[in-house]
């Protein structure tokens, strides 16, 4: 009888330990690199698949999250000074040193020598992409990176295109070859993962209040009215 009880205890303990192990599919601050591609004025003017304010807020969540959690991040632009213009202020807020941005002429970031080097030198097999437009600036590097053996996540609501159809078909095309779609708030909360992580708790909630829409309003309300 004692042996049976001991076996049951060991089985429950094993199951509990297993249940606490997170999936390797989940992103954490150290297992990936983030690439923000061409969030520039000229590219945003024609983006119709998402409202410009929502797009900017979502980019703010992503850029801010990567800064809070020290995620290796690459910011790329295309023809910044001759055509496309500066990146969104939400990116500049998190990464103000524009000399570290990689400007290119190629539509596919992966085909630019400097960009490819900057991304691959981060040494991460998981890559997270977001940018404008989905059908060009995101499809190109996503398909190329997957072809080279990388695991790619695409932040769909921090990306956009000239029409809803163009955006959705691009996401479908990438998913068909193994890309994993996620959203901006999901990215932030997946990095936090546990509210007992006090070192980032306040910064994450402050970021959500600033850029998190209705979720942020709820946090602001709870802080003021519930003293939470």
Both tokens of 78, joined, read 């295309």
CA dist 138 and 130 (Å) reads 7
Cβ-contact 78, 84 below 8 angstroms: yes
Q: Which of 68, 91, 104, 43 is nearest to 193 (CA)?
A: 68
The Cα 113–Cα 117 span in angstroms is 6
CA distances from residue 11 to 16, 81, 151 in whole angstroms, order as listed: 9, 63, 34
> Is-catalytic flag, 86?
no
b/e for 190-217, b at 16 or more Cβ within 10 A? bbbeeeeeeebeeebbebbbebbeebbe
Element (H or E) spanning 1, and its range? none
Out of 63, 68, 91, 137, the active site residue is: 137
Residues marked as catalytic: 137
């Amino acid at each position: 009888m004692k042996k049976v009880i001991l076996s049951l205890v060991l089985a429950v303990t094993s199951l509990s330990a297993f249940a606490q192990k997170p999936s390797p599919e989940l992103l954490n601050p150290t297992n990936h690199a983030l690439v923000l591609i061409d969030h520039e004025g000229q590219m945003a003017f024609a983006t119709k698949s998402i409202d410009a304010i929502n797009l900017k807020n979502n980019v703010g969540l992503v850029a801010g999250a990567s800064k809070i959690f020290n995620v290796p991040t690459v910011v790329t632009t295309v023809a910044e000074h001759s055509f496309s213009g500066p990146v969104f202020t939400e990116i500049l807020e998190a990464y103000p040193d524009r000399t570290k941005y990689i400007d290119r002429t190629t539509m596919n970031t992966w085909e630019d020598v400097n960009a490819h080097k900057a991304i691959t030198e981060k040494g991460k097999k998981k890559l997270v992409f977001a940018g404008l437009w989905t059908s060009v600036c995101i499809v190109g590097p996503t398909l190329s990176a997957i072809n080279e053996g990388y695991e790619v996540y695409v932040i769909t609501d921090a990306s956009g295109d000239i029409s809803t159809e163009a955006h959705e078909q691009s996401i479908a095309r990438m998913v068909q070859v193994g890309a994993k779609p996620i959203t901006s708030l999901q990215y932030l909360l997946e990095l936090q993962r546990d509210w007992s992580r006090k070192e980032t708790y306040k910064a994450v909630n402050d970021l959500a209040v600033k850029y998190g829409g209705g979720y942020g309003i709820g946090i602001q309300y709870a802080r003021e009215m519930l003293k939470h």
